[in-house]
Amino acid sequence: MATSRGRGRVTAYLESAKNLTGCACGLAGLALTFTGLAGAYWPVVVAGLYGAGALIAPPARPPVPDFPDVSTQLEELRADFATLRAYLAEVDLPPAAAGRLVELVDLLDGLLAPGWVSDALGADPEGVHALSRAVHQDIPEAADTFVRTRWWTRITPGAEPPERHLERQLELLHREAEELATGLREAESRRQETHTRYLEDRGGH
């Protein structure tokens, strides 16, 4: 295995920009030798030019990781959101919490809708992260903990109703989604205002 790594390093160096540049400069040294300009010190000249070429060549640069772009992330998030909606449809929620959940799901559905909304969202990585966290963690956790806590409450009555916590959680999540939507709307408004100022400045008004 060590021999294979050694051969790989040798091959990589032979194909590197440093070696190729050094070889080109070394060939220039040989050309000087053939013309008689290098004299008796031609090996030193050739080696020196090779070394100089290897030094001035740009260093090897590892390839940049190819991470999924925002559009791919949003497509995956939409698919996960559809899975979440199917799960939520099977959860038995009290009317008040069910109403808050419908409002939250409708708002997230609008934010994840393909088109110019996604384009605006794609320019906000923090917004994409917030939606991903809500879909993958916050909402399913709120629903699942409610179901489990409600079962315990039924066999050990007297504790605080789990509906209150669920409603509060959904209210907070809806507020976060509203703040994200407001931020995107304000960004579009600033873009519109910037274009107006640009047209005014271009016209000299």
The reply to whether 63 falls in a domain is no
Residues 80 and 157 in one domain: yes
For residue 201, give the amino acid letter.
Answer: D
Residues 37 and 90 in one domain: no
pLDDT computed for residue 116 by the predictor: 78
Residues 84 and 176 in one domain: yes
Residues 175 and 104 in one domain: yes
DSSP 63-122: PPP----HHHHHHHHHHHHHHHHHHHTTS---HHHHHHHHHHHHHHHHHT-TTHHHHHHH
The reply to whether 61 falls in a domain is no
How much is the CA Rg of the chain, to the nearest whole Å? 32
Residues 123 and 44 in one domain: no
pLDDT computed for residue 14 by the predictor: 45
Question: Is it the case that residue 145 has pLDDT exceeding 60?
Answer: yes
Residues 47 and 90 in one domain: no
The answer to whether 166 and 93 have CB atoms below 8 angstroms apart is yes
Residues 80-89 pLDDT 10s: 999 999 999 9
pTM (2 decimals)?
0.65
The answer to whether 181 and 106 have CB atoms below 8 angstroms apart is no
Residues 42 and 92 in one domain: no
Question: Is it the case that residue 154 has pLDDT exceeding 90?
Answer: no
Residue-number span of the structural domain to which 86 is assigned: 70-203
Question: Is it the case that residue 176 has pLDDT exceeding 50?
Answer: yes
Q: What percent of the chain lies above the pLDDT cut of 70? A: 63
Residues 25 and 80 in one domain: no
| Residue in this structure with the two tokens 């907070």, named with its chain if needed | 172
Residues 38 and 113 in one domain: no
As for how many domains the chain has, the answer is 2
pLDDT computed for residue 41 by the predictor: 52
Residues 123 and 187 in one domain: yes
Question: Is it the case that residue 66 has pLDDT exceeding 70?
Answer: no
H helical segments located in the chain = 2-14, 17-34, 42-56, 70-88, 95-111, 116-122, 125-133, 139-155, 162-203
Average pLDDT over residues 58-86: 80
Q: Compare 152 and 24 and report the one with higher pLDDT.
A: 152
The reply to whether 118 falls in a domain is yes
Q: Taking phi first (over 0 means left), then psi (-120 to 50 degrees means alpha), and beta for anything else, what does residue 102 get?
A: alpha
pLDDT computed for residue 8 by the predictor: 52
Average pLDDT over residues 166-172: 95
Residues 26 and 84 in one domain: no
The reply to whether 138 falls in a domain is yes
Nearest to 60 by CA among 24, 25, 23, 17: 17
